[in-house]
Amino acid sequence: MDISKKIILTGSFGVGKTSLFSRFIYSDFDDRYLTTIGVKVDKKTIDIKEHKLNMMLWDIAGEVAQDKVPLSYFLGAHGIIYVFDLTRPMTYNNIGTDIEYLKDILPEGVVKVVGNKKDLVTPEHIEKVISSLPIMCDITTSAKTGENVEDLFKSMGENLV
């Protein structure tokens, strides 16, 4: 049975949303920083249990505060992947407020919190960052190496099916 679900990738600028998107969909990584303007949409179909899940992924432009993202992007969404950069505190300083806001605009949606760029920091640094957050971090990833990227999207898919 085929199921389609819309998933938004959001977070501050430069956290690696587009890199996670490209790593998952195209198995590709580009070291160049390319700013997303507006939104980029693509699809990947994965198998979850006995279902074919069509993941409609919306990679939206980064904003320092989530209330700056146009609400229209969230219409019809089933899940949100909120990405922050483990190397830049400014990308997770307002994480509690951001997640609360996202859960308010998508109360029935699945929200995954992701610390990206784990290849650039030590395990001790990751532990320190995650333990300082006011909310739970679901997974840490590296779009560059691909570590945990498939696991992130598979976990989101399992939660949506």
For 111-139, write each residue's pLDDT tens digit.
999 999 999 999 999 999 999 999 999 99
* Residue 32 pLDDT greater than 80, yes or no: no
CA distance 89 to 105: 25
CA distance 18 to 37: 11
Q: Where are the alpha helices (DSSP H) in the chain?
A: 17-26, 95-105, 123-132, 149-160
Assess contact for 24 and 7: CB atoms under 8 A.
no
- The pair phi, psi for residue 99, each rounded to 5°, is -65, -40
pTM of the model: 0.93
Amino acid at 140: T
pLDDT at 36: 65
Assess contact for 37 and 62: CB atoms under 8 A.
no
Assess contact for 74 and 103: CB atoms under 8 A.
no
Residues 34-54, mean pLDDT to the nearest whole number: 86
CA distance 106 to 81: 12
Q: Which CATH number fits domain 2-160: 3.40.50.300, 1.20.1440.230, 3.40.50.12780, 3.20.20.220?
A: 3.40.50.300
Residues 27-43, mean pLDDT to the nearest whole number: 75
Burial letters 64-75, b for 16+ CB under 10 A, else e: eebeebeeebbe
Mean of per-residue pLDDT scores for the chain: 93
pLDDT at 34: 63
pLDDT at 69: 85
Residues 141-154, mean pLDDT to the nearest whole number: 97
Residues 6-20, mean pLDDT to the nearest whole number: 95
Residues 7-28, mean pLDDT to the nearest whole number: 93
Sequence ranges of the domains in the chain: 2-160
